[in-house]
Amino acid sequence: MNEMKLIGIVGTNSSRSTNRQLLHYIQKHFSEQAEIEICEIKDLPAFNEPEEAVAPAAVKELSDKLDEADGVIISTPEYDHAIPAALKSALEWLSYTTRPLIDKSVMIVGASHGSLGSSRAQAHLRQILDAPELKARIMPGMEFLLGRSLEAFDESGELVYGDKVTELEECFEEFQLFVTLTNQLTKDQRFKTEQKRNFTWEQAVNGGIEK
């Protein structure tokens, strides 16, 4: 069986985010189950609608990695009850240009300094990822929230909250199964995936999208 290949997206341009720490912990902790490459969005340009829907080189590089991955993990903080502007901008680039997240399995996690985690931001991200231009396959019934994240990791990057380690292990096991089942389901529907990638609101308004 080939090793599962996943992309972890740090959902912020902050250089000190505990969401980056969380992804690095996930990468290390599950290294025997999956190959996880962590990708940054902090160097992507702010979204500016391009002519002919052509992605800048940095966006295209990220898109190609997402396209080749079996699944994606996005770790998002919560800013004013929503995802950061940098993450929204990155998703806008992907939705407007290459659309690599269509039918791609996505697991959402999040860390925050407070005790409540990033629940509102995760709900916001789910709503965005369900848009026709993104249409990711979002893992249902799972919300991994890491609160009090400033005290959550020791000097070696290990997660010190035992209950959260157990919870994350259960979530990751479910995600692996979700990725496998989703990829089996969509394997024979590549043509429909390409149709979704060619979606335009003009087609939808004019009745040109197949339902």
Longest dimension (CA), the chain: 57
Using DSSP, state whether 8 is helix, strand or coil.
strand
pLDDT digits (tens, 9 = 90+) for 162-193: 999 999 999 999 999 999 999 999 987 664 55
| Cβ neighbours, 10 Å, residue 49 | 9
Kindly state the tokens that stand for 83.
């995802």
pLDDT above 70 (res 136):
yes
Across the chain, mean pLDDT equals: 91
pLDDT digits (tens, 9 = 90+) for 88-135: 999 999 999 999 999 999 999 999 998 878 999 999 999 999 999 999
Q: Which residues pair with 111 in a beta bridge?
A: 146
Most confident stretch, 59-68, 134-143, 202-211: 59-68
Domain formed by 4-205, architecture: 3-Layer(aba) Sandwich (3.40)
pLDDT at 192: 59
User: Are 106 and 182 in contact, with CB atoms under 8 Å apart?
Assistant: no
Half-sphere exposure of 193 (CA within 13 A, CB side): 18
Confidence of residue 53 (pLDDT cuts 50, 70, 90): confident
Name the pTM for this structure. 0.89
pLDDT at 209: 41
Using DSSP, state whether 208 is helix, strand or coil.
coil
Amino acid at 57: A
Alpha-carbon span 15 to 34, nearest angstrom: 25
pLDDT above 50 (res 22):
yes
User: Are 189 and 195 in contact, with CB atoms under 8 Å apart?
Assistant: no
Alpha-carbon span 207 to 210, nearest angstrom: 8
What is the pLDDT averaged over residues 51-58? 90
Confidence of residue 208 (pLDDT cuts 50, 70, 90): very low
Using DSSP, state whether 109 is helix, strand or coil.
strand
Kindly state the tokens that stand for 13.
């341009």
Confidence of residue 203 (pLDDT cuts 50, 70, 90): low
What is the pLDDT averaged over residues 135-143? 93
